[in-house]
Amino acid sequence: MAWLDGSDLGPSAEAFVRYGIGDAVDLDLQILTSFHPFQPDAKMASDSGADTSALPWLAGVAPGLTYRWDVLQVVPFVGAAVALLSSHGIAAYDGTQFGVSGRAGVDYLLSRTVVLSVQASAHFALTESPIPSPWIQLGVGAGYVWGW
């Protein structure tokens, strides 16, 4: 789920890739998106039928660093990143903006290769922007771990 200032909740999706550069520090890349059909000024479809794809959405790419505490099967983590945020139909704004991102969560290791994860992330535009801030996401998911 995602929450956007001035908007209701909307469904969201996220994927991330981590690469360990030390025992507790990872480089990570977070790719995320959310849809906000209940945005107050959203045009879901025009009466003329000219634009039926005006579903308001946000997308972001956030490379950064994550610090993890490896405590047996439970692995809490926090991270910070720079972000490239893009939106369409949110507060009458279509465009791309640089920002910052922060996240925190917990991974639970079912095995060496299967992980359950709960995390929250917040994203903010760096300059004054029509993109409403903050953009907050709460996610629950599962992942596959591989490496050598």
Per-residue pLDDT of 5-58, as tens digits, reads: 666 788 999 888 889 898 899 999 999 998 887 665 555 444 444 444 567 888
Residue 50 domain boundaries: 2-68+81-102+122-139
Q: Which of 86, 81, 109 is nearest to 16 (CA)?
A: 81
Q: Has residue 115 been placed in a domain?
A: no
Q: Has residue 126 been placed in a domain?
A: yes
Q: Has residue 116 been placed in a domain?
A: no
Q: What is the DSSP letter of 49?
A: S
Q: What is the pLDDT of residues 57-71, one digit of tens each?
A: 889 999 999 999 877
Q: How many CB atoms lie within 10 A of CB 112?
A: 9
Q: Has residue 135 been placed in a domain?
A: yes
pTM: predicted TM-score of the whole model, two decimal places? 0.77
Q: Has residue 145 been placed in a domain?
A: no
Q: Has residue 15 been placed in a domain?
A: yes
Q: How many domains does the chain have?
A: 1
pLDDT: which is higher, 28 or 131:
28
Is residue 7 classed as helix, strand or coil in its secondary structure? coil
